Structure 1
Amino acid sequence: MLLCRVSAVSHALARWGRRSHLGGGLLHRALSFSSGRCHGVGSGESSAQPSETGSAQGLYRDTVLLPRTEFPMKLTGQKLLDRELEIQKECGFADLYSWQRERKAKKEFCLHDGPPYANGDPHVGHALNKILKDICNRFEMLRGRQVHYIPGWDCHGLPIELKALGELGTSGLSPLQIRQKAREFAEGAIARQKAAFQRWGVMADWDQCYYTFDGVYEAAQLKVFQEMHSKGLIYQDYKPIFWSPSSRTALAEAELEYNPEHVSRAIYATFPLVRLPPKIASEKDLESVSVLVWTTQPWTIPANEAVCYMPNAQYSVVKRADNSQLLLAATERIASMAALLGTELESVVTFTGNASIRSELEGGICKHPTIPDKEVPLLPANHVTMAKGTGMVHTAPAHGMDDYSVASQFKLPVECMVDEDGKFNDLAGPELQSLPVMREGTDKVISMLRDCGALVKEEPCVHSYPYDWRTKQPVVIRPSKQWFINTESLKDKAKEALQKVRVLPESAKGSLLVMLDRRTYWCISRQRSWGVPIPVFYHRDTGEALINKHTVSHIAKLFKEKNSDCWWELPIETLLPPEVLKQSKAGPVTDYIRGEDVLDIWFDSGASWAAVLEDSRADAYVEGKDQIGGWFQSSLLTSIAVRNKAPYKSLVVHGFAVSEKGEKMSKSLGNVVDPDTIINGGKDPSMPAYGADVLRWWVAESNIFSEVQIGPTALNSARDSISKLRNTLKFLLGNLHGFDPLTQAVDPKEMHYIDQYMLHQLREYSIKVTDAYSEFDAGRVIRVLQAFISRDLSSFYFSIIKDRLYCDPEDSLGRRSCQTVLEEVLDGVIRSIAPILPHLAEEVYLHAPGHDSIGWIKSSSVWRRPGLEEAVEGACAIRDSFLSSIPGKNAAQYDLTIAIEPGLLFELMESLQEEPSSTSSQLAELMMAARVNLTSELPRDLPPDAILNHGTFLINLEGGVIREDSAYNIAVVPTSASRCPRCRRYTAESADCMCPRFFIWNVF
């Protein structure tokens, strides 16, 4: 027994004595200890094969440094919810934004909040947007920037007005009464949404938000309005606009939803030619030719003022085989028309296009089919296409945007036959008056065409048609006297500015440019009460508008002091005082009345940069893809108009939240996922209480640039991912128990190579994570995190170091080296997930005192040591060959011989194991084998059961200057050593003896 003890001590000294910094005291202590007895041997106990759960384990439990931490593996149900709320309070979530605004920082990061609409409860769309923004803000704060983020709400508009009034309607209510009810409704919605945002952990000063119904905001908005008006960009005109009969107001393009399943009653109708174009007139037997038109809006036929054709296209006169009727249509459409009409169409004459087609059709005059004695011209127009119809387009300038352009060019009348309720007015004649144009009015017009013999064909047509975005009812195009922004004069500058904006995803930039091209003018007046009034006065007799910088500036001051309710509350003498009238060179105040229209809510929110950003530009706008035609565009146009620059440097365009099946969420479908239910749980067992961090993980993990699915599957996956992360964090915390990084950390140069390598990997991890956050790609952050934890930590590093952590002396260099790395890894991982999981990050820090509360991942260039990566990864290549040779078996039960010819690879392996054979070298630890022999060639006397394998490893040093493809051979044999009852490694000389570390542990 004495021999066993002495041999063990000498073996230990051989290992530990090389580490000079431990000092000579170790030798004296070890020799003094050698006179003691080998625990578990010679005391009447049998240590040959002690029970794994019996006395041997009890004997050595106090000599093994197992993890210790009170950090819980799991938190579920009410405990989870209570803990998140405790953390928010204990860690000062409510004060974080104000604190970071007060600290000194070299740079500011400004994320301008697109205002959510204050018309209902918080939903998962809010969660997706607000949490995504918060992840960006928390990352920027952690990396040392001062975050500028002021949450806001869009408070005006028809939807809020309709919801506030409910079934009451506007009947009998004054504008001020309507506004009061709408304000109360909006305030209630804001309170509910704000509480939800706070519960989700969104960082902001929630007492300092912006609201579009606030007087200060309204004044800033009017300043933008005034500057645009003074530049001639805002004007009043009578022209076609989208009109919602269901809301009785004008709408802008951004307020439309296109229903792809709308069904129209499309018709083919004839307009007889009463004056033939010269080319047709020169042909024989072509006196009775009719132009054939196609339209999906038959109700607009009474308003027809022309029939348009495409310049430079071929047109033909064809004869119907069934009734000899002569029709004029585009040659390209003849085949389709014949199939539709069910008859052959014989071409009589074709205008080849060799000459100017305009000159050949010019001068043609048609008879209006339903209005006696009315004649309309044939006119060229570039908007005519050959995709559908006949190539001859019925043109009603009052009820089509392109039609209006033709009218403007050729001085055609623009008479509106439709009133604000969407019904024919008296101009349409007694047969049509008061009929709703989209229903009975359409029926009547088709009947009139049939009676006069002009109806050729009727068919249902399913196509995309604009609907009011809130009432979900079809809109019509009708002319009205409204206020407009001349976007045509702003588009080129806007597109030029947009080219300098970083847009994610890149494809969204193309969509923005297309939307800008489509917008020829922007109608900004609305016929409602709940909004910012357009600051205009009208002359009682002439109707002439009184609006200039003096009147608008005065109104803006009043709005700033009293809010825009004063437009209705104050007498007109206060709104239009003598000094303003004098500056405006206007007559007495009794000559004027105040306007009744309010501004489009897209102008409201589009001017937010003026109220929140003032003269600066936001680093980022982050909103859903619906804002491509909304807030992104209105903000751009107003900023270009006033400041000649975009209000943002970057745009992040995310998708919508949809059900797990990819369906749009709808109460009628029963697939709405309530974020409050996600956090607090629901009645359905499939929806437990997940807490806020699971909701945040779902947002971060999702591919935000497409539609984002949510449901039990996605939420359970997020919960499981966080549980795995907690397991890793618990391991780190447990093994750092009692470790003081300030006094016990090991310098990287003195660490084990595998520990240095993990610092190198941590540095690579931090670079990847930082890049992903900088690209607004939290999904990539999570993928990088999970790969780092599963591949680099759990499967590799943790499995290798457990023995050293648990069984080496507590204050030994090897253990402290490892703990130093674990401390850096814990700190790096927690900082990297803090933007996504702030509750979990704070919880970990509460169990790991001594960390700085704010800051990004610490990464040092010292961690990148030349040759380190090649040494460890070369060893890993050999390790892979070793493990593949013994699939499913315990590597600790084998001795490994590695044979490498002299060269770079041998030198690298020698840096991990100085002696030819070792059970305790860094190479042996990495291989997890009982013993590793390092030699230049395999021995010839290998036992017959030896397993042989070989491989190569390409060494690449100094950027490719040094390259060497090195071969290696391995031999694997079962070890002859015995298993140590304490550390369970096969390093004991016999079954009844401890391994050398047991004695070293006692020495320490």
Structure 2
Amino acid sequence: MSKSWTSTLRLPKSTLPPRPLPQFRAEYLRRCTDDLYKWQAAHRTGDKFVLHDGPPYANGGLHVGHGLNKVLKDMILRVQVQEGRPVEYRPGWDCHGLPIELKALGDAQGRGMTAVEIRTSARALAAKTVREQMDGFRSFGVMADWDARWTTMDPDYEIRQLRLFQQMRPTSGFPIIADDAVMDELRRARAGFEGGHLYAIIWTTTPWTLPANRAIAVHDELDYDVVAIRGDAYIVAQARSEILDTLFPDTRREILWSTKGANLKQLRYANRLRGRAAASQPVIHADFVSADSGSGLVHCAPGHGFDDYAVCSGLGIDAAAPIDDEGHFTRDAFPDAPERLTEASPILKGGSKGRAGSSSREHANVLHVEKYKHKYPYDWRTKQPVVIRATQQWFADVDSIKDSALAALRDVKFVPDAGRKRLESFVVGRSEWCISRQRAWGVPIPALYDAEGRAVVTDESVDHIISVIRARGIDAWFRRRTRGARLDCALPAPRSTTYRRGTDTMDVWFDSGSSWTQSEGQADVYLEGSDQHRGWFQSSLLTYPAVLRADLHLLLSVHAAVKAALERARLAKMLGSSLQSAVVVSVPAAPSAAVLARYAADLDALFVVSSVEVRVGAAPPEAPLCTRVRGRRWHQGRCQRAAAHGGASARGAGATSPRREDSLCGKVQGGRRGAGGAASRGGPNVR
């Protein structure tokens, strides 16, 4: 019988269990997060360190990038606490906007619902999503002041945002969005051609923009011919004269005269779609006109495209878009017989065919119609074609604050340094910011309109509107009648004029860009993904100096996106890559799904803190479970060169022999180290 020598040894004893017990997990989590946050606030006495949270969007489950972002922020905070500084970190959420509104409405899409009902539904969805995301973040072990969390739909936040709007003093104008337009109709012009009419031949692939035509564009340096055909004359670029073979086959033609495009700018023409009483319209020069396609003359509808708007607005030509919110033509589209267009189907369902037919029968203006395959913009969210039209909007004049915004960045430290040029390039390339949206779910723009549609935004009117919203809630603005909230005292003379409330809401980037208003001083760190150079970083930068005119003193740090291990595509919520569905670790001989679920937060943190680049997804066959931990590597299963299974292939080219590695010191035994030290890299899951 063997003897036990245990009792003869003086072994160390401890009350600590050999491993964390699941039943104590909740207690450990609380002690190292909530309790620690309260303790450091009470016992750390140095200068307060403030990390300002870029608010995630509250429209769905957590994305894997959220995990990366929150773990990095938690690391920064814990280091500051260890260095003796108290920290402040109040998590926030972005809660307004179209995605939340559409998701809240579902299939109903707001049919028959009032603005207040839509807002109630969207608010409930956003609040539910905030709770779910917060539970997920807390399960990661993130230390934060969760009780002091904020959202962009908090009443106090909305009031501060309205004050910021008031201080920025925006102006009203037209928004412009890029568009391509070109294929099917001709414009009438008069210029003293004896015995007939002089026509300018143009073509367009968007015939529904023809009622909005305000000019015909030529190029000053192109050569144009005036060609006599069947008693009339037609203008066409010399280099495009072959189109006459298609428009007038087997017809005798005679070139009456040739001229440069610059000489055609003396002409004016009649657009019959605008009605017989409409004023004549100009022929203008545009740099984008070429002889590569069409007729060398371009139909300009400044209400339906950026290029057209840019050239026309400089000449004082107005922009019009006679299409309503549902895609139907308005009565202005064809004043002489408006019912022919107003009773037609929406333009994306063939409504423009009615226009072409009526014009062809009544005025013989359509020379040719054919099917033509071409590129056209589609909405990335709905996957439906986009109708671009000019509508009255509110803008922040970026040109007036651009220099102040760039100057405010002088004392900002960027990590990495390249972020400075990236952010500055976005600001330099921007002249205006359209801050209005035509949706119900958002912070209203506090503007009143008189009977002529003129906007009233004065300090007195905005002060009064804010006082009513503060007392009755922001939904009071959207109710059809608000008893006892008269604005007579805040309106300009004559006060007998009838005013209506505007229905526009603010851009969600203006919402989140106002988040700095809730801090008494400046934050020490902004930390978000690189996509926020164009988004939250920029909107925060534009609103801050516009009001305070002060330099910023903070560190702006950027992390990369989380990518799929094999496809190397950026993971995003719209692709379904939420934390609930993503496979964080999937390799041969990996722990069971139950173990991964239990320690998911720890594994996520381990990946983030130990890697320069993080990839998420299934690993290639035979790849090990590889993670760098403070310069060491833990392996499970057979390990080959990183280049052999997709990692650092360029650096380790040719080095494919198997190797063993000491799991404690990282010493390589066997094989050879490839160029650039690829052997020191991890596998494709963590690089």
Place the TM-score, normalised by the shorter chain, in its bin: 0.7 to 0.9
Letter paired with 1:160: I
Aligned to 1:630: 535
Aligned to 1:36: none
Decide whether the 8 Å contact of 1:397 with 1:413 is kept in 2: yes
Decide whether the 8 Å contact of 2:88 with 2:145 is kept in 1: no
SS in 2 for 1:417: coil
Deviation of 1:304 (Å): 0.8
2: distance between equivalents of 1:120 and 1:111? 24
Letter paired with 1:477: I
1: distance between equivalents of 2:111 and 2:314? 42
Deviation of 1:131 (Å): 2.4
2: distance between equivalents of 1:411 and 1:608? 39
Aligned to 2:321: 416
**TM-score of the two chains, using structure 2 as the length reference:** 0.73
Structure 1 residue aligned with 2:117, among 154, 157, 177?
A: 177
Residues 7-27 of structure 1: per-residue CA shift (max 9 Å, x gap): xxxxxxxxxxxxxxxxxxxxx
Letter paired with 2:627: S
SS in 1 for 2:317: coil
Is 1:461 the counterpart of 2:374? The answer is yes
Deviation of 1:419 (Å): 0.4
Sort the Cα spacing of 1:517 and 1:725 in 2 relative to 1 into closer, same or farther, 3 A. Answer: closer
Decide whether the 8 Å contact of 1:240 with 1:401 is kept in 2: no
SS in 2 for 1:120: coil
Is 1:427 the counterpart of 2:332? The answer is yes
SS in 2 for 1:662: coil
Letter paired with 1:712: A
Letter paired with 2:268: I
Sort the Cα spacing of 1:448 and 1:141 in 2 relative to 1 into closer, same or farther, 3 A. Answer: farther
Deviation of 1:185 (Å): 1.3
Comparing both structures, which one devotes a greater share of its residues to helix?
A: 1
Decide whether the 8 Å contact of 2:184 with 2:207 is kept in 1: no
2: distance between equivalents of 1:510 and 1:379? 38
Is 1:490 the counterpart of 2:390? The answer is no
Is 1:123 the counterpart of 2:63? The answer is yes
Letter paired with 1:185: L
Letter paired with 1:536: A
Structure 2 residue aligned with 1:608, among 507, 510, 515?
A: 515
1: distance between equivalents of 2:271 and 2:499? 43
1: distance between equivalents of 2:186 and 2:409? 47
Residues 108-129 of structure 1: per-residue CA shift (max 9 Å, x gap): 4433211111122222232233
1: distance between equivalents of 2:27 and 2:629? 20
Aligned to 1:362: 265
Letter paired with 1:565: D
Residues 364-394 of structure 1: per-residue CA shift (max 9 Å, x gap): 3345486676753211245657897666432
1: distance between equivalents of 2:551 and 2:117? 38
Residues 71-129 of structure 1: per-residue CA shift (max 9 Å, x gap): 999x8xxx78667545323x431133333334445444433211111122222232233
Structure 2 residue aligned with 1:794, among 665, 668, 671?
A: 665
Is 1:721 the counterpart of 2:611? The answer is no
Q: Which has the higher contact order (CA 8 A, sep 6+)?
A: 1
Aligned to 1:878: none
Mapping for residues 266-305 of structure 1, pairs under 5 Å: 267=183, 270-271=186-187, 274-275=190-191, 291=200, 293=202, 295-305=204-214
2: distance between equivalents of 1:82 and 1:319? 91
SS in 2 for 1:477: coil
For structure 1, which runs of at least 5 residues remain unmatched after alignment? 1-54, 243-252, 259-263, 729-789, 798-1004
Q: Percent of counterpart pairs with the same letter? A: 34
Letter paired with 2:368: L
Residues 747-766 of structure 1: per-residue CA shift (max 9 Å, x gap): xxxxxxxxxxxxxxxxxxxx
Aligned to 2:616: 710
Deviation of 1:420 (Å): 0.9
Decide whether the 8 Å contact of 2:61 with 2:578 is kept in 1: no
Is 1:236 the counterpart of 2:145? The answer is no
Is 1:189 the counterpart of 2:129? The answer is yes
Decide whether the 8 Å contact of 2:408 with 2:552 is kept in 1: no
Aligned to 1:328: 236
SS in 2 for 1:377: strand
2: distance between equivalents of 1:217 and 1:667? 26
Deviation of 1:190 (Å): 0.5
Decide whether the 8 Å contact of 2:411 with 2:552 is kept in 1: no
Sort the Cα spacing of 1:406 and 1:796 in 2 relative to 1 into closer, same or farther, 3 A. Answer: closer
Mapping for residues 269-668 of structure 1, pairs under 5 Å: 270-271=186-187, 274-275=190-191, 291=200, 293=202, 295-310=204-219, 313-317=221-225, 328-329=236-237, 358=262, 360-366=263-269, 368=271, 375-381=280-286, 392-429=297-334, 430-433=339-342, 434-444=344-354, 452-455=365-368, 459-462=372-375, 465=377, 467=379, 470-498=381-409, 501-505=412-416, 508-517=419-428, 519-539=430-450, 541-560=451-470, 563-568=473-478, 572=482, 574-576=484-486, 581-582=488-489, 591-611=498-518, 613-614=519-520, 616-645=521-550, 649-659=554-564, 660-663=566-569
SS in 2 for 1:203: coil
Sort the Cα spacing of 1:723 and 1:656 in 2 relative to 1 into closer, same or farther, 3 A. Answer: closer
Structure 1 residue aligned with 2:79, among 139, 146, 164?
A: 139
1: distance between equivalents of 2:93 and 2:191? 60
2: distance between equivalents of 1:400 and 1:607? 31
Sort the Cα spacing of 1:713 and 1:559 in 2 relative to 1 into closer, same or farther, 3 A. Answer: farther
Sort the Cα spacing of 1:714 and 1:292 in 2 relative to 1 into closer, same or farther, 3 A. Answer: farther
Letter paired with 2:665: S
Deviation of 1:712 (Å): 2.9
2: distance between equivalents of 1:648 and 1:600? 27
2: distance between equivalents of 1:102 and 1:571? 49
Aligned to 1:44: none
Deviation of 1:181 (Å): 2.2
Larger radius of gyration: 1
2: distance between equivalents of 1:503 and 1:346? 68
Mapping for residues 674-689 of structure 1, pairs under 5 Å: 674-675=579-580, 689=595
CA RMSD, 1 decimal = 5.2
Residues 657-682 of structure 1: per-residue CA shift (max 9 Å, x gap): 4434234658998x73534765899x
Aligned to 1:981: none
Decide whether the 8 Å contact of 1:635 with 1:647 is kept in 2: no
Mapping for residues 253-272 of structure 1, pairs under 5 Å: 267=183, 270-271=186-187
Aligned to 2:651: none
Sort the Cα spacing of 1:561 and 1:195 in 2 relative to 1 into closer, same or farther, 3 A. Answer: farther
Aligned to 2:644: none
Aligned to 1:692: 601
2: distance between equivalents of 1:618 and 1:386? 56
Residues 214-259 of structure 1: per-residue CA shift (max 9 Å, x gap): 1111111111011112xxxx1234x3556xxxxxxxxxx9xxxx9x
2: distance between equivalents of 1:515 and 1:296? 32
2: distance between equivalents of 1:570 and 1:297? 38
SS in 2 for 1:693: helix
Is 1:97 the counterpart of 2:37? The answer is yes
Residues 464-504 of structure 1: per-residue CA shift (max 9 Å, x gap): x262x654434333233333322332334334445664445
1: distance between equivalents of 2:463 and 2:122? 26
2: distance between equivalents of 1:142 and 1:351? 80
Aligned to 2:28: 87
Residues 406-464 of structure 1: per-residue CA shift (max 9 Å, x gap): 4433333433310011221222233332432233134445667887443376531135x
Mapping for residues 212-231 of structure 1, pairs under 5 Å: 212-229=152-169
Sort the Cα spacing of 1:190 and 1:368 in 2 relative to 1 into closer, same or farther, 3 A. Answer: same
